[in-house]
Chains A and B, each alone.
Chain A
Amino acid sequence: GQQVMQIPQYQHVQEGEDFTTYCNSSTTLSNIQWYKQRPGGHPVFLIQLVKSGEVKKQKRLTFQFGEAKKNSSLHITATQTTDVGTYFCAGSTGTASKLTFGTGTRLQVTL
């Protein structure tokens, strides 16, 4: 079945440093979504990418979808303590009904 891996599993940064998490799928994806889950919370939708090579920005967050539509990345510039949480990519190979979550990257930010 479809597998979606993320690296790193965990990253600890000082506030102000940059952070990147990478997402790799075993199969070609029709789209990729990104979610953030704060400790003790639930996943919150951040963004969706559909086109090959697509790049989208949300303030300090930059999302990319690979040319082959099998990988994606999330880059955070100048992290803040509010960025703490686990970031999941989630992809689908067909309809929206079967979204497979990546393994997640847990981000810790300290002052």
Chain B
Amino acid sequence: DTEVTQTPKHLVMGMTNKKSLKCEQHMGHRAMYWYKQKAKKPPELMFVYSYEKLSINESVPSRFSPECPNSSLLNLHLHALQPEDSALYLCASSQDSLNFGYGYTFGSGTRLTVV
């Protein structure tokens, strides 16, 4: 299995809702990432998990809460989002955070719309 699977593919949520994005990989990768991508912009790093521990938080607002239940799963919990948080949320994985290896494998993303 050489894929990163993200669910849901699309999500529309109100500003008072709580939702979660899910990401799964079975490549044995030990580093997992959340990126945010706005239209016509590059992906921006949000969080890095290395060996199931949060190693980087790029000053992301607390309304975004990551969780790594095990080495194959990564969640992003969303609460009280703003319309400007609407974007494509990409999950990625790599062999580990010290060895660049074969690059990042990205999931197909969750397209989030906050209304």
Contact = CB atoms under 8 A, between A and B. Distances in A.
Contacts of B113: none
A92 interface: yes
Given A48-B103, A92-B100, A99 B45 contact: yes
B60 interface: no
Contact of A42 (B42, B50, B101, B106): B106
A45 B6 CA distance: 18
Interface extent on B, as a size class? 20 to 34
Nearest to A103: B42
Given A42-B90, A96-B94, A97-B56, A33 B105 contact: no
A65 interface: no
Given A33-B100, A96-B97, A45 B105 contact: yes
Interface in A43-66: 43-48, 50
A102 B42 contact: yes
B42 A101 contact: yes
B105 A96 contact: no
Interface string A21-51: 0000000000101010000011111111010
Contacts of B102: 45, 48
A78 to B, nearest CB: 25
Nearest to A41: B108
B45 A42 contact: no
A95 B51 CA distance: 14
Interface of B: 31, 40-45, 48, 50, 55-56, 90, 92, 94, 96-109
24 contacts: A33-B100, A33-B104, A35-B104, A42-B106, A42-B108, A45-B105, A47-B103, A50-B100, A88-B42, A92-B100, A95-B98, A96-B31, A96-B94, A96-B99, A96-B100, A96-B101, A97-B31, A97-B97, A98-B45, A98-B48, A99-B45, A99-B104, A101-B43, A104-B41
